[in-house]
Chains A and B, each alone.
Chain A
Amino acid sequence: MAEPNMYRYDEFDAQFVAERTAQFRTQVERRLKGELNEDQFKPLRLMNGLYLQLHAYMLRVAVPYGTLSSAQMRKLAHIARVYDKGYGHFTTRQNIQYNWPALVDVPDILEELASVEMHAIQTSGNCIRNVTADHFAGAALDEIEDPRPLAEVIRQWSSLHPEFVFLPRKFKIAVSGAPNDRAALAYHDMAIEIVKNDQGRVGYKVLVGGGMGRTPYIAQVLGDFVEKEDILAFLEAAMRIYNQQGRRDNMYKARIKILTNALGIEEMRRLTGIEFAEIKKAGTLQLPKEELDRITAYFAAPAFETLEDAMPSGDAAFEAWKKTNVHKHRQPGYAIATISLKPIGGVPGDASADQMDAVAAIMDRYSLGEIRVSHEQNLVLPHVRQKDLPAIHAALAGFDLATPNAGLITDIIACPGLDYCDLANARSIPIAQDIAKTFADLDRQHDIGELKIKISGCINACGHHHAGHIGILGVDKKGVEFYQLLLGGSGAEDASIGQIMGPGFTEHEIAGAVERVVNLYLAKREKGERFLDTYRRMGMEPFKNVAYGEELYAVHQG
Chain B
Amino acid sequence: MANPSSQVLTANRLNDGTVLYRKADGWVLTLAEADVYDDKPAAQAALDAATAGLTRNEYVSPYLFEVRRENGVIHPVKEREIIRAAGPSVRADLGKQAQGV
| Contact A433/B90 with A103-B14, A418-B80 known, Cβ cut-off 8 Å | yes
| A104 contacts chain B at the CB level, 8 A cutoff | yes
Verify A31–B57 contact, CB threshold 8 A.
Answer: yes
A52→B17 CA distance, assembly (Å): 7
Residues of A close to B57: CB separation below 8 A = 31-34, 37
| A419 contacts chain B at the CB level, 8 A cutoff | yes
| Contact A32/B15 with A85-B94, A347-B91, A479-B77 known, Cβ cut-off 8 Å | yes
A37→B56 CA distance, assembly (Å): 10
Verify B87–A55 contact, CB threshold 8 A.
Answer: yes
Q: Is the interface of B mostly helix, strand, loop or mixed?
A: loop
Chain B nearest CB, measured from A437 CB (Å) = 13
Chain A nearest CB, measured from B66 CB (Å) = 8
Verify B54–A420 contact, CB threshold 8 A.
Answer: no
Chain A nearest CB, measured from B70 CB (Å) = 16
Residues of A close to B80: CB separation below 8 A = 54, 418, 424, 479
User: Which of these, B55, B78, B95, contacts A55 with CB under 8 Å?
Assistant: B95
| B79 contacts chain A at the CB level, 8 A cutoff | yes
Chain A nearest CB, measured from B59 CB (Å) = 10
Residues of A close to B15: CB separation below 8 A = 32, 102-104
Verify A34–B17 contact, CB threshold 8 A.
Answer: no
A101→B12 CA distance, assembly (Å): 13
Verify A479–B78 contact, CB threshold 8 A.
Answer: yes
Verify B60–A38 contact, CB threshold 8 A.
Answer: yes
Verify A430–B90 contact, CB threshold 8 A.
Answer: yes
Verify B88–A34 contact, CB threshold 8 A.
Answer: no
Binding site for B on A (CB under 8 A): 31-34, 37-38, 52-57, 85, 100-104, 347, 418-420, 424, 426-427, 429-430, 433, 476, 479-481
**Given A31-B14, A56-B12, A103-B14, 15 more pairs with CB closer than 8 A:** A31-B57, A32-B15, A37-B55, A37-B57, A38-B60, A55-B17, A85-B94, A100-B17, A103-B16, A103-B17, A104-B16, A419-B90, A424-B80, A427-B83, A479-B80
Binding site for A on B (CB under 8 A): 12, 14-19, 54-57, 60-61, 77-80, 83-84, 87-91, 94-95
Can you list 16 A-B contacts (CB < 8 A)? A32-B57, A33-B57, A37-B55, A52-B12, A52-B60, A52-B61, A54-B84, A100-B17, A102-B16, A102-B17, A347-B91, A419-B89, A429-B89, A430-B89, A476-B79, A480-B79
